[in-house]
Amino acid sequence: MSMLRTNYDESQHCIAVDLTNMLVVVDLARTLPPKINYRAIDVTVAMPAGLSAVVRDKLERAVGACPIKHSVDPDIAVSTDCRYPD
């Protein structure tokens, strides 16, 4: 599954990363209706093979800095896990 393909000009100190075959799975722990309360959000990111250590570090920092992750109510536990096949 192709989620994102990003290409940047190297003069901007960015790198091109092909994220074809990346998969993001979000698991929500919540109470049942009628009153739904979220208790936890677990995000697993299955990365494609062949990413260098530099790219892995940049992607993991991006996952950790996600503004959506930081906008969630502090009472809701949010975990992220980046997994690599190699």
Q: pLDDT per position in the chain (86 positions), as tens?
A: 334 444 545 555 666 788 888 999 999 999 999 999 999 999 999 999 999 898 899 889 988 888 888 899 999 999 999 999 98
57 to 33, 69, 82: CA distances (angstroms): 39, 18, 10
- Domain membership of residue 13 (yes or no) is no
- Domain membership of residue 34 (yes or no) is yes
In the prediction, which pLDDT does 1 show? Answer: 39
In the prediction, which pLDDT does 44 show? Answer: 94
Strand partners for 40: 29, 77
In the prediction, which pLDDT does 11 show? Answer: 53
pTM of the model: 0.73
Looking up residue 34, the CATH number of its domain turns out to be 3.30.300.20
Domains held by the chain: number: 1
Contact call for residues 65 and 84 (beta carbons, < 8 A): no
- Rounded to whole angstroms, the Cα distance separating 9 from 29 reads 40
Domain that includes residue 58, residue range: 22-83
68 to 41, 55, 62, 73: CA distances (angstroms): 12, 22, 11, 10
- Domain membership of residue 14 (yes or no) is no
